A = this chain, B = another copy of it.
Amino acid sequence: MTKWVYLFREGNAEMRDLLGGKGAGLAEMVRAGLPVPPGFTITTQACNAYFANNKRFPEGMWDQTLEALREVERETGKRFGDPANPLLVSVRSGAKFSMPGMMDTVLNLGLNDRTVEGLARLTNNERFAYDAYRRFVAMFGRIVKGIDGEKFEEILRSYKEKTEGKQDTDLTADMLKQIVADFKALYQRELGEPFPEDPYEQLRAAVAAVFDSWMGKRAVDYRNFHKIPHDLCTAVNIMTMVFGNMGYDSGTGVAFTRDPSTGEKVLYGEYLPNAQGEDVVAGIRTPKRIAQLAQEMPEVYKQFEEIAQRLERHYREMQDLEFTVERGKLWMLQTRRGQRTAAAAVKIAVDMVHEGLITKEEAVQRVEPAQVYQLLLPRFDERDKQRAADEGALLGRGLNASPGAASGMAVFDADTAQALGREGKAVILVRPETSPDDVHGMLEARGILTQHGGATSHAAVVARGLGKPCVAGAEAIRVGVKQFTANGVVVREGDLISIDGTTGEIFRGPIKTVVPEFKKEVQLQELLSWADEFRRLQVWANADYPRDAKVAREMGAQGIGLARTEHMFFEEDRLPIVQRMILAETDEERQQALDELLPIQRGDFEGLFREMDGLPVIIRLIDPPLHEFLPSYDELVQEIADLRVEMSAAKTAEERAEKEEAIRQKENLLGSVAAMREANPMLGLRGCRLGILFPQITVMQVRAIFEAACNVAAEGVKVYPEVMIPLVGHINELRRQREQLEPVARQVMAERGVQISYKFGTMIEVPRAALTADEIAQDAQFFSFGTNDLTQMTFGISRDDAEGKFLLKYVEWKILPDNPFQVLDRGGVGKLMKMAVELGRKTRPDLEVGICGEHGGDPSSIHFCHSIGLNYVSASPYRVPVARLAAAQAALGETQRDR
């Protein structure tokens, strides 16, 4: 017979799979001899069997439950349903991972019209007993049976209205009796059946309700989003009730063993005297800081503090504790890993290493890479945020869709947001939801708040792309015309609000923001220095300018994985020369323009090389189609059309001739632009195809690279240039470029009499290059995966066209698990990458392989890059710390953190 039920003393912390997080925590506390009310856990396996069994309890489960209940009766000396000495229990769900949307708690189960009298007699407190009873009836009705809680509240309010103080505590025992009767009548009306007096029926229904809540919509959605398997299922914890509301020698509270905001090593929490847990949650009375417990019940506080420290040491992790004091006796109700801010996560991990509590490996595994990124984003000053919270400015919470924090004027349409934003005003764009029509406003806003939409909604995706904070799907707010309401407060256009995209919080009024400086984040730096010890992947950065390279190096970059030479071409003073080069009608004209560009490019490269003294710098030769450097076809057509109208309206022959000449010039240009137009420029004349057709351009670039290298080498700079050819699909493309360009490099070095150690390699961004990587590696000393283009071609999806038109819908409809431009698609693109690495190294065992697509900064993609044996990932400079941590975690294996 399967064992479906475990007494707390039969379990331990390792049994999370079977007993859930809460059950395992309680069991572990019992094993450690801590004061835990007697109880037992029905296993996740039982829940699984319940669903497999068409929602019937598996055979033996109920009998084992009754048996465990008997054992609890023996331990407590009370009996379930016994009016003389009734055993009351709480029933709680408890999955392996803490999860919103599942059934929380039913307290005081076991009460009925007869046991309530017994409770009154035993406690000598009729009011207390009926207070517990009315709470139980409401909780059972609401949580187990799904009756709208507001209906119970309404009845309660009507009684409170009759009292003087209008508080719960003002209700008399008689009123409470009457309330219980009204609640039961409501129950009967709503469900068409009487409230169950039989405690066993109550228990059976509560257990089934916990099981059912596993498949509730919110729980299922949450698991889908967080990729938690649906077959883990939940356990049910049944525990003897203890009462924090038996007078002022009683109370209930929650505490963290360290400050979850800052990570400081202090006991941090709050408690409420003479109260049950739900009163804390309901927020009707303001709880006290935990420190006050030391004054009010010094013995209890001391014992709790000891237990807290013991649990933290035992778990070697910051704990989130729940406790109740019943008539001066401390009971522990829960211990679990405490949630924390990014800053706290780093500080706690680092401190615990210094305290000898955990190893450096563990510390590195305990911080999420995304948290490192958050740490470097603007965030609210913790104290000012606390001030705002204390002042009741919290309007509600939404989904933490894009991290960072911002304060600004609420604005309700994109046009206004754009207009005010351009005036330099700080603006938060608030919309029911966003669409591509709102992007111009999002671009100018400091942050985005939406009422609807999930973590992959348009607002969320665009905001993450822009690196702006976003709170999405804040169903607590109601967006109307030029205003929104939340929690009864009306926020109008122009009112200041603050949103925290890292936590999902929305505040009224401004909150000070802090912009972190990497240099000052000493604890983060320490953590990352440990990460560096463990990781095998190097972390390089994508940087086009010396200033970016400088930042990247400060952040810990070990090289430049991608310097895009064409970005330099787009600069204002250079573009006219580039255009002359493109539009040249003779080879001499073209060469002349290139000769002008040469010293400019050389200067750019010198700057990069100096910043990266001693480290490799990969320079990619020209990549975009040439027409990108020219005015757009559409604009030219429009300009000519406008000139035509002006000409036909011209008053004088002179004016007419002038317009005519202007038209002629524009039409000439239009002709050149038209000749270069492409149906699918992404797959057109660009990358190495340009270099092959117009070798003068790449010859100039290679000359600039090697002249720059020789120049800075003469200054004593150690320079390691790597020349990268883009868009190679066939070995012969690479070979031809190599045969054209390596002689240039050798010639420059011979001219200068300097020997530079360099590499020659290629992007792998065309599927065919990956498929034939064994051939490509014959001529390439390094590969760099351009996963942006590789993803576009492998999926046959143009990112520009798709993201607005169908890709987000694909993610929303679960056709794709993620946006493949954010999280590397392992099944397709990743498979190609794996092939390419294997084939390439077969030809050239010391092949250097890295990634320079955007995925190089995404933790999950970095794991994959580690797993297929890349040498480095190259990320944008601000993602370098994220990548350092993610790379270390990949090397250390799956993180041991809870989710």
Interface residues of A (CB under 8 A from B): 634, 637-638, 640-641, 644-645, 648-649, 678-685, 689, 692-693, 727, 729-730, 732-733, 736, 765-768, 771-772, 775, 789, 792-798, 800-802, 805-806, 809-810, 813-816, 825, 827-829, 831-832
CB <8 Å contact, A789 and B796: yes
Chain B residues closer than 8 Å to A638, beta-carbon distance: 637
Given A772-B827, A815-B692, the answer on whether A767 and B789 have CB atoms closer than 8 Å is no
Our pick among B645, B683, B789, B797 for the contact of A801 (Cβ within 8 Å) is B683
Whole-angstrom CA separation of A554 from B820 in the bound complex: 47
Whole-angstrom CA separation of A422 from B595 in the bound complex: 49
Whole-angstrom CA separation of A829 from B766 in the bound complex: 12
Closest CB of chain B to A461's CB: distance in Å? 17
CB <8 Å contact, A727 and B796: yes
Chain B residues closer than 8 Å to A685, beta-carbon distance: 801-802, 805-806
Chain B residues closer than 8 Å to A733, beta-carbon distance: 815
Closest CB of chain B to A831's CB: distance in Å? 5
Chain B residues closer than 8 Å to A806, beta-carbon distance: 685, 689, 692-693
Given A638-B637, A684-B798, A801-B685, the answer on whether A732 and B815 have CB atoms closer than 8 Å is yes
Whole-angstrom CA separation of A720 from B727 in the bound complex: 44
CB <8 Å contact, A682 and B684: no
Closest CB of chain B to A850's CB: distance in Å? 20
Which residue of B has the minimal Cβ distance to A684? B801
Q: List 26 A-B contacts (CB under 8 A).
A: A679-B682, A679-B801, A680-B680, A682-B796, A683-B798, A684-B798, A684-B805, A692-B806, A693-B805, A693-B806, A729-B795, A729-B796, A729-B797, A730-B816, A732-B816, A736-B815, A766-B795, A767-B794, A767-B828, A767-B832, A768-B794, A768-B828, A771-B794, A771-B831, A771-B832, A775-B827
Chain B residues closer than 8 Å to A693, beta-carbon distance: 805-806, 809
Q: Which DSSP category, helix, strand, loop or mixed, fits chain A's interface?
A: helix
CB <8 Å contact, B767 and A800: no
CB <8 Å contact, A683 and B732: no
Our pick among B678, B802, B828 for the contact of A798 (Cβ within 8 Å) is B678
Closest CB of chain B to A684's CB: distance in Å? 4
Which residue of B has the minimal Cβ distance to A641? B641
Besides the contacts A640-B641, A641-B641, A768-B825, what 7 more A-B pairs have beta carbons closer than 8 Å? A679-B800, A679-B801, A683-B792, A683-B793, A683-B797, A732-B816, A768-B796
Whole-angstrom CA separation of A887 from B814 in the bound complex: 42
Chain B residues closer than 8 Å to A797, beta-carbon distance: 683, 729
Our pick among B775, B793, B802 for the contact of A796 (Cβ within 8 Å) is B793
Whole-angstrom CA separation of A815 from B727 in the bound complex: 14
Closest CB of chain B to A130's CB: distance in Å? 54
CB <8 Å contact, B679 and A681: yes
Q: Which of A693, A767, A828, A829 has the most chain B CB within a 10 Å cutoff?
A: A767
Chain B residues closer than 8 Å to A637, beta-carbon distance: 634, 637-638, 641
Q: Which of A637, A680, A795, A806 has the most chain B CB within a 10 Å cutoff?
A: A680
Whole-angstrom CA separation of A731 from B825 in the bound complex: 13
Whole-angstrom CA separation of A683 from B794 in the bound complex: 10
Chain B residues closer than 8 Å to A765, beta-carbon distance: 796
Closest CB of chain B to A227's CB: distance in Å? 15
Our pick among B640, B683, B809 for the contact of A680 (Cβ within 8 Å) is B683
Our pick among B644, B768, B792 for the contact of A645 (Cβ within 8 Å) is B644
The 3 closest A-B pairs by CB, nearest first: A641-B641, A768-B828, A683-B798
Whole-angstrom CA separation of A798 from B680 in the bound complex: 6
Chain B residues closer than 8 Å to A809, beta-carbon distance: 692-693
Closest CB of chain B to A385's CB: distance in Å? 41
Q: Which of A637, A733, A814, A828 has the most chain B CB within a 10 Å cutoff?
A: A828
Which residue of B has the minimal Cβ distance to A728? B796
Our pick among B640, B649, B680, B805 for the contact of A648 (Cβ within 8 Å) is B649
Closest CB of chain B to A806's CB: distance in Å? 5
Q: Which of A648, A693, A766, A797 has the most chain B CB within a 10 Å cutoff?
A: A797
Q: Which of A727, A827, A829 has the most chain B CB within a 10 Å cutoff?
A: A827
Chain B residues closer than 8 Å to A814, beta-carbon distance: 732
Closest CB of chain B to A725's CB: distance in Å? 13
Whole-angstrom CA separation of A814 from B732 in the bound complex: 8
Q: Which of A730, A802, A809 has the most chain B CB within a 10 Å cutoff?
A: A730
Chain B residues closer than 8 Å to A680, beta-carbon distance: 680-683, 798, 800-801
Chain B residues closer than 8 Å to A805, beta-carbon distance: 684-685, 693
Which residue of B has the minimal Cβ distance to A646? B648
Given A634-B637, A680-B801, A772-B828, the answer on whether A796 and B767 have CB atoms closer than 8 Å is yes
Q: Which of A638, A640, A798, A829 has the most chain B CB within a 10 Å cutoff?
A: A798
Closest CB of chain B to A786's CB: distance in Å? 10
Chain B residues closer than 8 Å to A641, beta-carbon distance: 637, 640-641, 644
Whole-angstrom CA separation of A682 from B767 in the bound complex: 16
CB <8 Å contact, A828 and B729: yes
Our pick among B679, B768, B798 for the contact of A795 (Cβ within 8 Å) is B768
CB <8 Å contact, B767 and A684: no
Which residue of B has the minimal Cβ distance to A830? B771
Which residue of B has the minimal Cβ distance to A733? B815
Whole-angstrom CA separation of A535 from B831 in the bound complex: 35
Whole-angstrom CA separation of A733 from B638 in the bound complex: 40
Q: Which of A772, A795, A806 has the most chain B CB within a 10 Å cutoff?
A: A795
CB <8 Å contact, B801 and A678: yes
Whole-angstrom CA separation of A649 from B693 in the bound complex: 47
Closest CB of chain B to A117's CB: distance in Å? 58
Chain B residues closer than 8 Å to A802, beta-carbon distance: 683-685
Which residue of B has the minimal Cβ distance to A814? B732
CB <8 Å contact, A798 and B679: yes
Whole-angstrom CA separation of A793 from B766 in the bound complex: 8
Whole-angstrom CA separation of A806 from B676 in the bound complex: 12
CB <8 Å contact, A736 and B795: no
Closest CB of chain B to A796's CB: distance in Å? 4
Closest CB of chain B to A737's CB: distance in Å? 10
Closest CB of chain B to A175's CB: distance in Å? 56
Whole-angstrom CA separation of A733 from B831 in the bound complex: 19
Whole-angstrom CA separation of A806 from B638 in the bound complex: 30
Chain B residues closer than 8 Å to A640, beta-carbon distance: 641
Whole-angstrom CA separation of A736 from B815 in the bound complex: 8
Our pick among B766, B815, B831 for the contact of A730 (Cβ within 8 Å) is B815
